[in-house]
């Protein structure tokens, strides 16, 4: 029975990742799933009417989303609308390459490549020699004037970043410093210089014309785009018993998907439930839709004011609230056990990872981690602990950035994985169900 549920969840996860080649697709797929579960959209520019027991979601910039579900017994007319907020947060973005404006560049008068730049800190070499394509959004001229947006996914094998042959770089296996400008531009096609100069034959605008054809619109109506490369290979289960997941964007879509599934299936108890999925974690969160923005605070403030409560109620509710910041965690690597902390050594398959950091890059403290352990125990889910080696810096995540805007009790967790920020990462297939169960428990308290 448990095996069946695990299998279904992982199939759902892999489909979700496959259908989400860019952040904009991640949010669009969350929206579709939430709509199906009866959630209604509230736009930030409108005034809000909210009902007790109601389920809603808000999108900012098409790349971040906050969904919330109010308890049946929520105010108005009571001393306080509910006890507080139970929030889980994860991030929608993954390291990739952003396509620059005027992307086409020609080499040897025939190779057409796209000029791209790094988005986040990926392992560069993992993006070479594999099928890639382009997805994101374009901003288009609307017939009635103004600017609209369209999602775009060139859903075919379109690009490759070829390595240099070993014969021309004999030292490549001793380590090679890839230069993002020189080495990482993907090849899109061959071009022949026309006899007569004509705009439609120019390599300039080649990508735009592909996108226009895909969307069935005129290239001139595309005014701009936020376009990114993505890995074409499908995610899959792998290992003797399918115990691993090999997939692009596991960090952090495994947490996003598990959060979504736990969220839609949980009936709120005394707390209003919130799922926050933020963009731009991989580049420091400092955008208007990132964790370092007012997005979460704005939504929470509007929830209680829409129910008819004053500003001091916001602080009362936040004081009784809890945030689980969910972002994948490093499992001990079999070839490099020395890189892990001597005693806090998460493994693939070992359960949800609770992360600690003396310098507070992770928000977990004794009390918040104790609550997380309780919820895991109540859900029958194992957990393990992570700390960086004391001589290593480690990464950062959403929790402490988010709590600098909305200061509430918080714990940092993740699902164990290897090869973080590789184009294709290795995770734990059992962990998806663990995260769904633990978060569901949290949201039903």
Task: Give residues with Cβ within 8 angstroms of 435, minimum separation 6.
Answer: 254, 255, 258, 259, 262, 326, 352, 415
Q: How far is the CB of 94 from Co ion (least distance, A)?
A: 8
Q: How far is the CB of 281 from Co ion (least distance, A)?
A: 6
Given the complex with Co ion, which of 318 and 329 has the nearer CB atom? 329
Given the complex with Co ion, which of 104 and 425 has the nearer CB atom? 425
Given the complex with Co ion, which of 232 and 249 has the nearer CB atom? 249
CA dihedral 40, 11, 157, 282 (to 10 degrees): 60
| CA–CA dist 90, 21 (Å, integer) | 17
Q: How far is the CB of 252 from Co ion (least distance, A)?
A: 4
Q: CB under 5 A: which stretch of 112-120, 165-173, 325-333, 403-411 binds Co ion? A: 325-333
Given the complex with Co ion, which of 250 and 340 has the nearer CB atom? 250
Three-class DSSP category at 215: helix
Q: CB under 5 A: which stretch of 11-19, 270-278, 324-332, 341-349 binds Co ion? A: 324-332
Which one, of 428, 349, 368, 362, lies nearest residue 395 by Cα? 362
Q: How far is the CB of 291 from Co ion (least distance, A)?
A: 11
**Does 93 sit near Co ion (CB under 5 A)?**
no
Given the complex with Co ion, which of 113 and 330 has the nearer CB atom? 330
Written as one string, the DSSP assignment of 252-286 is: HHHHHHHHHHHHHTPPPSSSEEEEEEES-GGGTS-
Given the complex with Co ion, which of 22 and 306 has the nearer CB atom? 22
**Is the bond into 291 cis (omega within 30 degrees of 0)?**
no
Do the Cβ atoms of 208 and 222 come closer than 8 Å?
A: yes
List binders of Co ion among 218-257 (CB under 5 A): 251-252
Measured in residues, the chain has a length of 445
Count residues near Co ion (CB under 5 A).
3
Which one, of 18, 115, 89, lies nearest residue 295 by Cα? 89
Among 210, 292, 327, 341, binds Co ion (CB under 5 A): 327
Q: Can you give the binding site for Co ion, defined by CB under 5 A?
A: 251-252, 327
């Amino acid at each position: 029975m448990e095996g069946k549920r695990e299998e279904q969840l992982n199939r759902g996860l892999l489909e979700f990742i496959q259908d989400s080649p860019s952040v904009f697709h991640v949010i669009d797929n969350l929206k579709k799933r939430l709509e199906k579960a009866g959630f209604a959209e509230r736009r930030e520019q409108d005034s809000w009417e909210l009902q007790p027991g109601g389920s809603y979601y808000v999108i900012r910039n098409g790349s971040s989303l906050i969904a919330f579900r109010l308890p049946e017994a929520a105010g108005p007319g009571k001393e306080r609308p509910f006890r507080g907020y139970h929030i889980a947060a994860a991030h929608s973005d993954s390291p990739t390459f952003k396509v620059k404006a005027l992307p086409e560049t020609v080499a040897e008068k025939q190779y057409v490549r796209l000029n791209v730049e790094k988005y986040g800190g990926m392992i560069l070499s993992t993006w070479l020699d594999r099928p890639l394509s382009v997805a994101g959004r374009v901003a288009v001229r609307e017939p009635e004037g103004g600017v609209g947006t369209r999602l775009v996914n060139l859903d075919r094998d379109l690009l490759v970043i070829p390595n240099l042959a070993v014969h021309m770089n004999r030292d490549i296996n001793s380590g090679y410093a890839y230069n993002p400008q020189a080495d990482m531009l993907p090849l899109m096609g061959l071009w022949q210089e026309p006899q007569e100069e004509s705009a439609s034959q120019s390599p300039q605008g080649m990508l735009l014309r592909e996108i226009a054809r895909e969307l069935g619109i005129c290239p001139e109506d595309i005014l701009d785009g936020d376009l990114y490369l993505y890995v074409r290979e499908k995610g899959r289960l792998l290992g003797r018993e399918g115990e691993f997941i090999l997939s692009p964007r596991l960090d952090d879509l495994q947490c996003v998907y598990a959060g979504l599934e736990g969220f839609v299936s949980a009936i709120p108890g005394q707390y209003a439930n919130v799922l926050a999925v933020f963009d731009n974690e991989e580049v420091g969160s400092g955008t208007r839709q990132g964790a370092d923005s007012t997005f979460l605070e704005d939504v929470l403030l509007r929830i209680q004011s829409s129910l008819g409560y004053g500003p001091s109620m916001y602080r009362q509710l936040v004081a009784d609230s809890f945030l689980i910041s969910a972002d994948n965690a490093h499992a001990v690597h079999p070839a490099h056990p020395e890189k892990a902390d001597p005693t806090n050594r998460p493994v693939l398959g070992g359960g949800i990872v609770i992360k600690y950091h003396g310098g507070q890059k992770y928000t977990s403290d004794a009390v918040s981690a104790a609550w997380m352990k309780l919820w895991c125990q109540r859900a029958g889910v194992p957990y393990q602990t992570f700390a960086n080696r004391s001589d290593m810096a480690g990464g950062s995540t959403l929790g402490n950035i988010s709590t600098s805007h909305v200061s509430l009790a918080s714990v940092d967790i993740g699902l164990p994985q290897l090869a973080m920020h590789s184009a294709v990462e290795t995770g734990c297939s059992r962990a998806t169900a663990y995260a769904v169960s633990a978060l569901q428990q949290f949201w039903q308290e």
